[in-house]
Structure 1
Amino acid sequence: MEIIEDLKESSLETVSVLGKLGTFGFVSLQSDSNLGKSYVKKTSTLEQSKNLEKELRIMLRFHNNPFIVRASSDHLHFATNTKSMSLCYIYMEYASLGNLNKMISDAGGRLSEDSVRRATRMILQGLKALHSEGFVHCDLKPSNVLVFPSNTRGEPWDLKLAGFGLSKEPTMDSSLLFPGTLEEYMSPEAIERDRFVGKDKLIGPARDIWSLGRIVLRMFGGIPVEVRGSNTWRLYEDISPEATDFVRRCLAWRPSNRATVDELLDHPFAAEKLPLLLSFLRVPSFVRRNVNEKLNVRQEELIPKPQGLLW
C-alpha cells in the first residue's frame, strides 16, 4: 500500500485553522516549506479518538481509490497541548479548492446541470467503493465532499469523499444507531427510526442514497424549508426530467425502495456519456426505454412525485 512517507512533523508549520471538530477539536492546514507540500491535520480529544481511528482506517482501506480522500500518515498521532490536555490527530491530503459547499457558494448558490451531473457521478463512484465492501458513510453532506484540481485534461475539479468518523464498517451491527451531524441530509430511518420495521430499520447503503438525493438538490440551488413540521426542500428553478427522476429514486421514503449505487450510475442523468464512435455499441434507446418502463411500473407507484418545486 503506497502511503506518503516523507511527512516529517518537525518540518511542518501551521498555516491556518480551517474549522472546528467537535467542542475541543479543530482542523488545520499544515505546510512543509522544504518539500512544498501541504497537509490537513485533524485534531481531537482522546475521547474522540475512536472516530479518528475509524476515519484513518477507512482512508487507508481505500487509499488507492481516486474518489476517496487519502491519508498522509498511516497511524494516529498523540500530543499534549499547553493546557495539559491529551490530544490525538491524523494527517490527510489537502483539498486546495475546498469542499462542495464552497464550490456551490462560489457558483452563486447553484451549479449548472452538467456540473451537477459530473459531481453526482464522482460521489456515486466513491459510494460504490464503500458499499461494495460493506461500508456505509452515514454522514454524507456537502462539507464531506472535498474538491481537488482535476487530473483530467479540460476539467477544472475532481471530488473525493471524506469525513468517515461516523461511518458504519462491515463488522458493525446494522441495528445500532449511527447518527449523522446535519439533519437536512439525514435519511428518515436515521431520524425517525421507530417508524420503520424489518430491514428498513437497519442501517444500510440506502441511507447514503437519500443523502445523495439531498446533495443533488443542494447543487441545484435547493434549500431546506419547514412545511407543516416536515423536513422539506425547495427548488427555485425547474430541473430536467432526467434530474427529477434521479432525485426521486434517491428520496423514496422506504429504504428498500431507493435505487442502488449501480442503478444510479446507469441512470440517464448520471451515466457516463460514451464517445460518438462507441455509442453504437449500446443497446438502442427504444429497447432500453421499453425494458425500463416494464421494470419501473411498480417503482413509479412507490416513489412520491415532488409537488411543484417542493421535495
Structure 2
Amino acid sequence: MMAEWDTLCPGCFGDKGNQDVCPRCGYDESERRTPLVLPYRVVLNGQFVVGKVLGKPGGFGITYLGWDINLATLVAIKEYLPRDYAGRDADHASVMAHSREDANLFRFGLEQFLNEARTLARFDHPNVVRVRSFFEQHGTAYLVMDYLQGVNLAEYLASHGGRLTEAQAAEIMLPILDGLQDVHSKGFLHRDIKPQNIYVTASGRPILLDFGAARQAMGERSRSLSVVLTPGFSPYEQYHRRGEQGPWTDIYAFAATYYYLLAGCAPPDAPERVAADELSPLSALVPGISPDLNAAIMQSLVLDAGARPQDVFMFRDMLRGKAVPPPPAVPAAPARVAVPVSAPAAPPPLPSVSVPPVSAPLPGAAGAPVYAPPSASSPLPYPLPTPPPYTPPPVTKKSPVGAWIVVMLLIAVAAAAGLFFFGGSDAAKKKSEPAAAPPVRTAPAKQQQPAEKPPQPQPTTPPKATVTDKPATAPTTPAEAGKPPTEVAPPPSETPTPPRQQPAVRTQPPAEKPATPTPPKRDKGSLW
C-alpha cells in the first residue's frame, strides 16, 4: 500500500515519478532534513500522508503539509513535539520524553493540546482556521486542519514594502477581529496573536491560526514561559504565571500586530516598557492616521490590563469614536469570575458603563472556557453610544472671606446690642461728649476718655456715622444699633476722615487740658 505513495511529491503531492526534483513544483526531496521531523510519506491514522514541513519547526510542535487519502485534498498536520521535553525515537517516528520529570510535563502538555483541538473543532468562522480531525499516535498527538495556500502576515508585509496603508491594514485586521470575537464568544482565548499566526491566502483572505493556549498552560506548569511569549506582541500579564488573562490579553496582541503593519516595526517588549515606556504613538510614525484608529491601538497597548478595551465590542466602538476606555487609575477586579466589570464610580446622576463579565482562565484547562462569554440572546454588554468621559461639574463654593465677614458682622451687631442694653451707665456718663471725632487723634486704641476739644459748630442735621473715641463702643441711639456694623469705624491708626462739616481748628493743644475735664454744655445739635 505504501508503494502507491512513493512517487508522490512531498511538496505538492503530485506524481513526480522517480525524480528527486518535482517537475511540477520544483521541490527537491534529496535536500537534507533535520532528524527531528517525520520521514516523508508516513501515513497517520490510516488517512493522512505526511509531506514537507510548513514553515520552521517550532519549540512546541511541527506542522507538515499532508494529503487526505479519503477526501483527496491537501491538509495541514500539526504534531505535538515540545523539543525541551521530548524527542524522536530511533524509529524516526515515535516520540519519547527525555526524562521521567520531562515525561510528566510532556503528558500534561499533550492533554492541553488535545483540549485545544477539541475547542478549535467547534469553530466555523471564515477567518479562523478549521480543524478537521485530531488523534493520538506515535506517543504524541496530531491535529489536522485545512491547508491554506498563501503566506503568513510577516511575509505578506515584507512583500508589500514593509508597511501597509491604513486601508490595506484594515482589510486584514478587521476580518481577524471578527474571528477573534467568535473565539471569545465561545469562552476561548487565542493567547498568541502575532504576524506569524495570521495567514493571508492567495485570494487575500486573512486566517487566524496556531492558538497558544496549550503552550501557555505548559509554560505555567513548567515555570518557563518562553514557549509562548513573543517579544513585542505578548502583553505584560503573560510574563507572570499569576497574571490575569482574558479578552484584554488578546486585544493587546491584536493591537500590537495592527501597530506592526502600520509602523513597520513591533512595539517594544512589555517588560522593557515598565521602567521606561518608549512606545511611539502611531500618529508620530504614520502621518495622517485616523485619530480614532490611533487612539484605539494606543489605548489597547497600555501595560495596565484594566485600562485597555476589555473586549472586541469596546475596541470596535473605539474605532468608531464611540467608546471610552477605562481609566488606568481604576485597577482590574481581583477576581474575574463571572463578575461584571464596571466603569469608574460616578455621582448618582450619571449611569455607570459596564463591560461584559469575564473570569480568570482555569488552571490546566486549555480547552475549557477561560471566561464567561456573553449570552447570544443578551443585549450588548454596554449601551451604545457610550457616554463621554464624566467630568464633575464645578462645585460652587462660598467664599471663606465672605463667610467670615458675615460672621463678624453678626458678632459686631450682637456686641453692639449687648453694650447698648447692658452698658447704659457708661453711656450716661458719656452723653455729654461731642458727637464728632477730633481731626487729630493721639490717644491709643484702648483710651477710655477722649481729649477735650473746643465746642464745634452746631450741625443742622446729625451726621449719619458717628466716630467714637474708642473702638467697639455701643451706638448712641437704638436706631443706630440696627445699622450694619460696617458703619462702626475700626480703631484708626492714622488721622481719620473728618466729618462733613469741618470743625473749628483747635486753639490750644491737647496737652493743656485739665486733669479732670468738665463736661461742656449740651449743644443744640447734639443727639442727646
Question: Would you call these one fold, judging by a TM-score over 0.5?
Answer: yes
Structure number having the greater strand percentage = 1
1:190 is matched with 238
CA distance in 1, matches of 2:270, 2:208: 31
Change in CA separation of 1:120 and 1:297 when aligned onto 2, cut-off 3 Å: farther
Shift of 1:224: 4.0
1:12 is matched with 49
Deviations 1:226-268 (A, max 9, x none): 7994375556433332321121231233222211201222344
1:49 is matched with 110
Change in CA separation of 1:202 and 1:139 when aligned onto 2, cut-off 3 Å: same
CA distance in 2, matches of 1:94, 1:162: 11
Change in CA separation of 1:232 and 1:127 when aligned onto 2, cut-off 3 Å: farther
Shift of 1:125: 1.1
1:97 is matched with 150
Which of 181, 204, 208 is equivalent to 2:246?
204
1:38 is matched with 74
Q: Classify the secondary structure of the residue corresponding to 1:295.
A: coil
Q: Indicate the larger mover: 107-116 or 252-261.
A: 252-261
Q: Classify the secondary structure of the residue corresponding to 2:232.
A: helix
**Larger Rg: 1 or 2?**
2
Instruction: Please say if residues 138 and 168 of structure 1, whose CA atoms lie closer than 8 Å, have aligned partners that are also in contact.
Output: no
CA distance in 2, matches of 1:87, 1:123: 31
Return the letter of the residue paired with 2:294: T
The reply on whether 1:133 has 2:207 as its aligned counterpart is no
Q: Indicate the larger mover: 137-146 or 9-18.
A: 9-18
CA distance in 2, matches of 1:72, 1:295: 46
Change in CA separation of 1:17 and 1:252 when aligned onto 2, cut-off 3 Å: closer
Shift of 1:95: 1.9
Shift of 1:35: 5.6
Instruction: Please say if residues 121 and 265 of structure 1, whose CA atoms lie closer than 8 Å, have aligned partners that are also in contact.
Output: no
CA distance in 1, matches of 2:245, 2:271: 27
Q: Classify the secondary structure of the residue corresponding to 2:258.
A: helix
The reply on whether 1:237 has 2:286 as its aligned counterpart is yes
Return the letter of the residue paired with 2:128: I
The reply on whether 1:295 has 2:348 as its aligned counterpart is no
Deviations 1:70-105 (A, max 9, x none): 1122x32312xxxxxx33322111121122222112
- Structure 1 residues without counterparts, runs of 5 or longer: 1-6, 80-85, 150-155, 195-200, 272-287, 299-311
Instruction: Report the identity percentage.
Output: 24
Q: Indicate the larger mover: 234-243 or 252-261.
A: 234-243
Change in CA separation of 1:208 and 1:225 when aligned onto 2, cut-off 3 Å: closer
Q: Classify the secondary structure of the residue corresponding to 2:132.
A: coil
CA distance in 1, matches of 2:294, 2:313: 18
Instruction: Please say if residues 69 and 161 of structure 1, whose CA atoms lie closer than 8 Å, have aligned partners that are also in contact.
Output: yes
Q: Classify the secondary structure of the residue corresponding to 1:212.
A: helix
The two structures, once aligned, show a CA RMSD in angstroms of: 3.6
Instruction: Please say if residues 236 and 271 of structure 2, whose CA atoms lie closer than 8 Å, have aligned partners that are also in contact.
Output: no
The reply on whether 1:78 has 2:129 as its aligned counterpart is no
Shift of 1:135: 1.5
Shift of 1:124: 1.3
Return the letter of the residue paired with 1:187: P
Shift of 1:55: 2.9
Instruction: Please say if residues 168 and 178 of structure 1, whose CA atoms lie closer than 8 Å, have aligned partners that are also in contact.
Output: no
CA distance in 2, matches of 1:108, 1:54: 39
The reply on whether 1:69 has 2:129 as its aligned counterpart is yes
Shift of 1:187: 1.0
The reply on whether 1:162 has 2:217 as its aligned counterpart is no
**What TM-score does the superposition give when structure 2 sets the normalisation length?**
0.41
CA distance in 2, matches of 1:132, 1:33: 34
Instruction: Please say if residues 50 and 64 of structure 2, whose CA atoms lie closer than 8 Å, have aligned partners that are also in contact.
Output: no
Return the letter of the residue paired with 2:135: L
Return the letter of the residue paired with 1:254: D
Q: Indicate the larger mover: 201-210 or 13-22.
A: 13-22
Return the letter of the residue paired with 1:140: I
The reply on whether 1:111 has 2:164 as its aligned counterpart is yes
Instruction: Please say if residues 117 and 269 of structure 1, whose CA atoms lie closer than 8 Å, have aligned partners that are also in contact.
Output: no
Instruction: Please say if residues 100 and 147 of structure 1, whose CA atoms lie closer than 8 Å, have aligned partners that are also in contact.
Output: yes
Shift of 1:51: 3.9
The reply on whether 1:219 has 2:261 as its aligned counterpart is yes
